[in-house]
Every structure is written in C-alpha cells, then in structure tokens.
Amino acid sequence: MSQDKVYTAGMLVIGDEILSGRTHDKNIAQVASWLQVQGIRLTEVRVVADVQARIVEAVNALREQYDYLFTTGGIGPTHDDITVDAVAEALGREVVIHPEARKTLEAYYTGRGLELTEARLRMARAPEGAGLIPNRISGAPGIQVENIYLMAGVPHITAQMLDGLTGKLEGGAPLQSQTLGGWIPESEVSDILRACEKAHERCQIGSYPFFREGTVGANFVIRSTEKTALEACAADLTGQLEAEGYAVTPGGI
C-alpha cells in the first residue's frame, strides 16, 4: 500500500435490463462503497447492453485508463451472458473451460443431485489464464484476469464476491468523509463552500440539497485521505455556517 499514489477503478455494468429501466442497478453503489474502503477511487462507470462489440470497446477503454476494472452482469448460463467472451476478445485470449471452476460446479450440482449439463458448464468458461473469485451462493465463480474482475449481476452474489476480495487488492489511503447538514439553502452559502474548499486544499466538499417537510436543506460532505485535514475543514465550515446564523448538525440530516 502506498500513501501517495491514488489508485483508481473503472466499472462496467452489463445488461439490457438496466438500460431498459426494468431493473434498478444496485451494484454501482455497493462496488463504489467497497472500493472506498479498499483505498481505491471509483472514477468512471459505464453501462452497456448485451452486445459483444460494445462490451469489448468499453472493457478496453476502462482497463487501460484505470488500475482496476470491475464488471457486473453477463456471467450466467444463458445466451445473453457474453461477458467472458467479450473480455477474452478484448485481451486477445482464448475462452477455455477453467478446470477448477468445472470442479466447483460439479461438486455444487452433484451435491444437490443434479447433473452438470452443457449449459451449466458454460459458467466454467473463462479467458485462458484467469483466476477465480469464489461464489459460495450459487456455485458459479467470478473471474479475475489481468486487472479485470468479473462479478455477478445479482447484487447479493456480487456482495459476497467482494467480501472475499476484501483487503486483497493494492490500494492507497482510503478516502474518508465527514458530513454536516442543516436546514440551509445551498444557494445561500455557496460562497462559503467555495472559499472553504479552496482554503483546505487536501479536501473536497460536495453539496447535496434536499427538500423535506416543505423546506430546503442540504448536506455537505467533506472528503479527504487525511483525517487531520478532514477535521480541520469540517470545523472551519461548521464555524462559518454558524457565524451566518445556521444550526449545523454533525453527521448530516
């Protein structure tokens, strides 16, 4: 782990169901939160349809630009599951049956009195030379090849794949955050926010307005990899907002 390098990740969400609005994506938020804890900054996400050429294009753009690439979706047994093929094409590798994945699936299905059919064996396909990411829930593993991590589309399966990867990726100092909130119209305090961010150069301030109970308010999220810088900025911002007569709630409202 390095304190100075900022480690970055791209993410590719694969699936017609997200682009049609039928399914609300839950993987972006969970991968994003998990990466924060690993000290890796999620920098860009793309969502593309189940079309191999589009997946290949996005995989190549993202894997080259960021330290890590996480994909979700398209690793199941059906005809619209083409993520493995697309990633293999992007990397110029063959698709093979991964021997360990085959064993895992065999054990999973025979343990349930079922056969490892040809369709199920599709879930053992991987780009040549890939490693596996364990899946305790449904048998079909995730895949790691070069800097790419192929995860499931079903959020709770991806959750436990991420769990198994915790602490195993090289990252930097994790980004920490501190939130302040109040019944404060952000347009009243935009000069304060701007000046405060400028004065605390190791910090970023995000302003997230809301409307509740007929009144406007906002939460201000300060982010930094340095705890002391974060605390100094939060104290400064709190003081300035209070000097303007606003009540400030630590932790946000």
For a copy of itself, which residue of 1, 29, 199, 235 counts as binding (CB under 8 A)?
A: 29
CA angle 67, 6, 47 (to 5 degrees): 45
Instruction: Output 114 or 247, the one with its CB closest to a copy of itself.
Output: 114
Cα distance between residue 183 and residue 135, in whole Å: 45
Instruction: Output 211 or 228, the one with its CB closest to a copy of itself.
Output: 211
43 binds a copy of itself (CB under 8 A): yes
Cα distance between residue 89 and residue 57, in whole Å: 10
Site string for a copy of itself, 129-148 (x = CB under 8 A): --------xx----------
Angle between helices 227-243 and 190-199 (to 10 degrees): 150
Instruction: Output 11 or 133, the one with its CB closest to a copy of itself.
Output: 11
Site string for a copy of itself, 84-113 (x = CB under 8 A): ------------------------------
Distances (CA, A) of 208 to 33, 37, 180, 221: 18, 22, 10, 8
212 binds a copy of itself (CB under 8 A): no
154 binds a copy of itself (CB under 8 A): yes
Cα distance between residue 206 and residue 232, in whole Å: 16
What tokens were used for 60? 């190549």
Cβ proximity of 16 and 50 under 8 Å: yes
Task: Report the length, in residues, of the chain.
Answer: 253
Instruction: Output 42 or 86, the one with its CB closest to a copy of itself.
Output: 42
> First and final CA of the chain: distance in angstroms?
34
22 binds a copy of itself (CB under 8 A): yes
221 burial via Cβ count (<10 Å: 0-12, 13-18, 19+): middle
36 binds a copy of itself (CB under 8 A): yes
- The minimum distance between CB 129 and a copy of itself, in angstroms, equals 25
32 binds a copy of itself (CB under 8 A): yes
253 binds a copy of itself (CB under 8 A): no
Binding footprint of a copy of itself on the chain (CB under 8 A): 13, 15-26, 28-36, 41-50, 54, 76-80, 117, 119-120, 122-123, 137-138, 154, 175, 177, 186-188, 190-191, 193-194, 197, 204-211, 216, 221, 223
